[in-house]
Structure 1
Amino acid sequence: MCAVWLLGFCAAVCPAYAGDGDHPLPVAGTQWKGRKVAFMGDSITDKAHVGTTKNYWQYLQEMLGLVPFVYGINGQQWRDVPGQCEKLRAERGGDIDAILIFAGTNDFNSGTPLGEWYTTGEVPVEVTGPRSEIRTRRTLSMDGDTFRGRINIAMSYLKANFPDKQVILLTPIHRGYARFGDNNIQPDESYPNSLGLYADAYVDAVKEAANVWAVPVIDLNSICGLYPNADSHARYFHDARSDRLHPNAEGHYRMAKALAYQLSSYPANFE
């Protein structure tokens, strides 16, 4: 009986791709088919196809049959996500099913302090009795100069304006060396940023946001397997010598395939 149930469950939620492998076709029956999904983020999400001829959300469109609406912009950080969400709201109102946010790597590169999720203060509160008691209360930090504060600002906007939508965060992928000119040279992730913080700290903060804000986080940093500091993985990036920061089409396909299996475990909406 258990074996029969398990087979039925897998058939319902696990993508089974058709096509030639490079160009998978939509899967009938997936809960994401026909769902309108907004994609927020930076250059890896940008419709301008930075370093690639095809983006992960285009592959997801083919794999899952979802309908993408893309708001990610090259160079943007978590502080810019509220603006992307405001544009979504202005253009579509509530006509969206899910929102995916893939950001954080530029916050690391710019040396944004991590900050704290909460500020605390001593305040009175009514307890059983009834009577008043002084306790330490925590309040979400809305410090836009810190990474955690930026996430709080964005998530506060989403919870207020899209309360019935599926919101999913993605962790930044691993960072390789990139040189876009003398004024924009980015060391690989074996080096810390200007604050002495490694990229891992920003990845961990995005993971923490799952419990702070009650949203799923897909750890793309680990599950997609992209590892630009290994020469064997240079094939997945734009240029082996000058840009191991932006995945190429093959890298985006790998990201999308990993995402497709993860997304199949989550509701596409909450209707």
Structure 2
Amino acid sequence: MARLTSFVKRIFNSLTNIAEAKGKKITGYKSKKWISYGDSITSSNGWQPAVAKRLGLTHVNRGIGGTTITENGSIAWIDQNGNYKGQPPKPQPNGTIEILSSMCNSQRINATIPLDTQLLTIMGGTNDFGRGLPLGKGFPTNERPNLDESTFIGALCSMIEKIQTRLPNCRIILMTPVPRYHNGKYEDKNKAGYLTSDYARAVKDVATFYALPCIDLYSNVGWNRMNGEYYLIDSMHPNKTRGYKRVSEIVIGALEVLQQDVKSSIEEEDTNQPTEN
């Protein structure tokens, strides 16, 4: 009888532990600390409030306008809490710190992405295209990538590895740049011979290499040469009423699907648990 009681207790404790672990995984995004990391399409804060409100996230904006993923030596100023406060040619505000602002740079990563970050979205590439920065070589599956930060792919890989080393448990989600549109057509190739779609494709390839989710804005925002002026204020920045609304809808949908996939996988694990007869 004592052995039976002990066995029942072990089963009960095991089920309790499973339930507690499940609860931690499927509680959703409510109150989770979300950092949005990127360029001006992030720093403008046009799409994040709707996402945070819908999913209950605690959002902190870490975008810096004009920045690239590729290292280019640019600088910016942040306050003691890591908030962006400006960049040249404006004068440096009092009480701010100068950092190298490329998204792959360790100074920016360490100064602006807190250690308690739980969800990190990373969007960049449109300024890499605009500056004609080299795309770089791809990499074979399952081999260590080139981490050359003077190229887009190398810098993107280097950035991810730095962030994952610093925050190994953070959920990282990459986002492609949005399409660029100008004077009734997509922009021509840049001086390096690439289109925005080439940088977007590279983001997706890198996400696959690191087994990270990727929100493909480039393929899903729905603006093109026929209707670009309806969604954009210039060749690349979404407008507040329609463009950013569309971006927020796509991000919300993607994050909800991602959370549901996690929940479904846990439920599937439950059905595959062995039972005691």
TM-score by length of structure 2 reads 0.66
Which of 44, 59, 66 is the aligned partner of 2:50? 59
Secondary structure of 2:209's aligned partner: helix
State the alpha-carbon separation in 2 of the partners of residues 34 and 165 from structure 1: 15
Moved over 6 A (4+): none
Structural mapping, 1:16-27, within 5 Å = none
Q: Which residue of 2 aligns with 1:143?
A: 148
Q: Which residue of 2 aligns with 1:78?
A: 69
Which of 103, 111, 135 is the aligned partner of 1:114? 135
Superposition CA RMSD, Å: 2.6
Structure whose alpha-carbon radius of gyration is higher? 2
The CA deviation string for residues 114-168 of structure 1, in whole angstroms up to 9 with x for no partner, is 112449xxxxxxxxxxxxxxxxx94321111111101111011012111111000
Q: Which residue of 1 aligns with 2:272?
A: none
State the alpha-carbon separation in 1 of the partners of residues 150 and 186 from structure 2: 22
The CA deviation string for residues 172-218 of structure 1, in whole angstroms up to 9 with x for no partner, is 1100239xxxxxxxx96341000221111111100101221121111
Structural mapping, 1:75-224, within 5 Å = 75-79=66-70, 80-83=102-105, 84-89=108-113, 92-93=114-115, 95-118=116-139, 138-177=143-182, 189-224=186-221
Q: Which residue of 2 aligns with 1:261?
A: 253
Structure whose residues are more often helix by fraction: 2
The CA deviation string for residues 226-271 of structure 1, in whole angstroms up to 9 with x for no partner, is 33x22x3412222xxxx131101121011101110111122499xx
Among all aligned residue pairs of Structure 1 and Structure 2, give the percentage whose two residues are the same amino acid: 28
State the alpha-carbon separation in 2 of the partners of residues 114 and 244 from structure 1: 21
Counterpart residue type for residue 122 of structure 2:
I
State the alpha-carbon separation in 2 of the partners of residues 60 and 113 from structure 1: 33
Say if 2:104 and 2:156, in contact at 8 Å, map to a contact too.
Answer: no
State the alpha-carbon separation in 2 of the partners of residues 205 and 233 from structure 1: 23
Which of 228, 236, 243 is the aligned partner of 2:231? 236
Counting matched residue pairs gives 202
Say if 1:224 and 1:255, in contact at 8 Å, map to a contact too.
Answer: yes
Structural mapping, 1:32-47, within 5 Å = 32-46=29-43
TM-score by length of structure 1 reads 0.68
Say if 1:116 and 1:148, in contact at 8 Å, map to a contact too.
Answer: yes
| C-alpha distance 259-30 of structure 1, shift in aligned 2 (>3 A) | farther
Unaligned runs of 5+ in 1: 1-28, 120-136, 179-186
Say if 1:172 and 1:221, in contact at 8 Å, map to a contact too.
Answer: yes
Secondary structure of 1:265's aligned partner: helix
Unaligned runs of 5+ in 2: 1-25, 71-101, 263-277
Structure whose residues are more often strand by fraction: 1
| C-alpha distance 164-194 of structure 1, shift in aligned 2 (>3 A) | same
* Deviation for aligned residue 1:61: 1.6
Which of 242, 245, 249 is the aligned partner of 2:236? 245
State the alpha-carbon separation in 2 of the partners of residues 105 and 259 from structure 1: 18
